[in-house]
Amino acid sequence: MVVLIFFLLSIVSVGAILGALISRNQAYTALFLVLALSGLAGLFGLLDAPFIAVVQLIIYAGAIMVLFIFVIMLIRLPEGIPPEKKKGTIIVAAVLGLALGIEVYSALAGSSPGALVATQGAGLGHPTAIGRLLLTDYLYPFELTSVLLLAALVGALILAKKREAS
């Protein structure tokens, strides 16, 4: 039964991402991304990582995507990419896709089938283990991320204030 749920969630996630790539309407793209992130939350739940699954669902599929939808509705982007910019976009996408493919191949070629199971520890993905890691081993990167997010927020407020004054 777990395998069936895994394949169902995988198909939903991949289908939603393909829908986001194919869709020409930005609002539909954001909704496809909500569906894909919800499917990924289900996959994290199957991996016995309940904290990551809930964070994925609440923060990414909920809050972040609602902000994306508000921004899309407020700025009213034109439909599609202009033809003169489309060629450069395709070239950049092809180069990045090739780099990602090489990276995935090298990662898969260097690992054995049981490598993921062997590296998982007891309690991986549970709030207690994540909290212990964030507040001991990864305290400085965690705090640095907080400072960077605060700086980005202050910068966005300053840029918004300048636009209102103009």
166 residues of the chain, pLDDT tens digit each:
888 999 999 999 999 999 998 888 888 888 899 999 999 999 998 988 888 888 888 888 888 888 787 777 777 666 666 667 777 778 888 898 899 888 888 877 776 555 555 455 556 667 888 888 888 999 998 899 989 989 988 888 888 776 665 5
pLDDT at 86: 73
pLDDT at 29: 87
* CA distances in angstroms from 81 to 78, 86, 87, 98, 127, listed in the order given: 8, 6, 10, 22, 42
Task: Describe the crossing of helices 127-135 and 139-165 by its angle, rounded to 10 degrees.
Answer: 80
pLDDT at 16: 93
Do 37 and 18 meet the contact criterion of CB atoms below 8 Å apart?
no
pLDDT at 124: 63
pLDDT at 144: 92
* CA distances in angstroms from 53 to 4, 31, 59, 72, 103, listed in the order given: 19, 19, 10, 26, 26
